[in-house]
Structure 1
Amino acid sequence: MSNQTTGRFMPTGWDESVIEDIDGEGETKNGTYYPSRGVTTAKVIFDYTGDIAGTGVATYLFAYRDSKAGHADIIGYERFTGTIDGQEGSSVFRHTGSYADGAVSAHVEVLPGLGTDGLADLTGAADVSMAGAPPEGGYEFTLTRD
């Protein structure tokens, strides 16, 4: 495998629900309630294409500090199953990031010891961002291996 591999990803499923609503205030967008201050959980499904191809299933925690202003801290774990540079298997990614003004920025790290088959020894990280409508083919994901 080379040091960097690039693919594209697209969220294809999103199910978010409130764990804690601190003030009992918030707003509903597209049928989902977001507390002004509180904690939610979301299960998100990603489809990957390119030299990183497969499916990721992520579970996130969002800590909203002010949903009307659009600010949240994000942590989560994603199990990716598919191929990276032709190596087939699965691995787990840890996401840490933030949501601000309609855009998500996150650092994604491969967690050692949780990979299988051809991805058992995979290491590395990626920085991703999602803003606005998805571009043609999805958002870019470039994995840089250690």
Structure 2
Amino acid sequence: MTKTHTTARLEMKSWDEQTWDGKRYDEVSGPKQTVGGMTVAYTGALEATGDMRFVMTYEDDTTCASTAYEVVTGTLDGRAGSFVLHHVGGFVNGVASSTVTVVSATGGLEGLSGTGRITWPHGEPGRLELDYGLAG
């Protein structure tokens, strides 16, 4: 299977994060654990909407580790469908970053596999770099 390298820009459309006892994440200082969701618009080689659910563990108010699953629906290099990304990453020195792995796909993207990286400086658009292949 030939791998294709592609990139996309990310823009946050919505964010909801709260501590496990239901408080807003920014109302609690210091170490904490949170859950939440985010909606993202992808543009570029990936024209899609991502719907993510995440869990975060904060060491302090500026550093955290996270894991998430995201359903991405749209077109990847002209093929329509949806796929699920597993994210493992965190937030350090004002930059959110994660490695991503495709765990399943449907529609015209069935058979999609791949790995990549998201880098997202606070207050700026994010960037996805994805190396992928399509079986079949």
TM exceeding 0.5: yes
Which residue, 41, 49, 55 being the options, matches 2:49?
A: 55
Q: Which residue of 1 aligns with 2:105?
A: 115
Q: Which residue of 1 aligns with 2:87?
A: 95
CA distance in 2, matches of 1:101, 1:81: 30
Q: CA deviation at 1:13?
A: 0.4
1:122-141 aligned within 5 A: 122-134=112-124, 138-141=125-128
Are the structure 2 counterparts of residues 81 and 34 from structure 1 closer, same or farther at C-alpha, using a change threshold of 3 Å?
Answer: farther
Q: Which residue of 1 aligns with 2:66?
A: 74
CA distance in 1, matches of 2:86, 2:21: 23
Seq. identity, %: 27
Contact 1:20 1:38 in 2 (8 A): no
Residue type of the alignment partner of 1:145? Y
Q: CA deviation at 1:36?
A: 1.2
CA distance in 2, matches of 1:76, 1:20: 19
TM-score by length of 2: 0.87
Residue type of the alignment partner of 2:128? F
Q: Which runs of 5+ in 2 are unaligned?
A: none
Are the structure 2 counterparts of residues 120 and 35 from structure 1 closer, same or farther at C-alpha, using a change threshold of 3 Å?
Answer: farther
1:12-91 aligned within 5 A: 12-19=13-20, 32-67=26-61, 70-91=62-83
**Greater per-residue strand proportion:** 2
TM-score by length of 1: 0.81
SS in 1 for 2:111: coil
Are the structure 2 counterparts of residues 122 and 108 from structure 1 closer, same or farther at C-alpha, using a change threshold of 3 Å?
Answer: same
Q: CA deviation at 1:34?
A: 3.9
Q: Which residue of 2 aligns with 1:24?
A: none
Q: Which residue of 2 aligns with 1:3?
A: 4
SS in 1 for 2:98: strand
Q: Which runs of 5+ in 1 are unaligned?
A: 22-27
**What RMSD, in angstroms, separates the aligned Cα atoms of the two structures?**
2.0
Q: CA deviation at 1:12?
A: 1.0
Contact 1:77 1:92 in 2 (8 A): yes
Residue type of the alignment partner of 2:43? T
Contact 2:96 2:122 in 1 (8 A): no
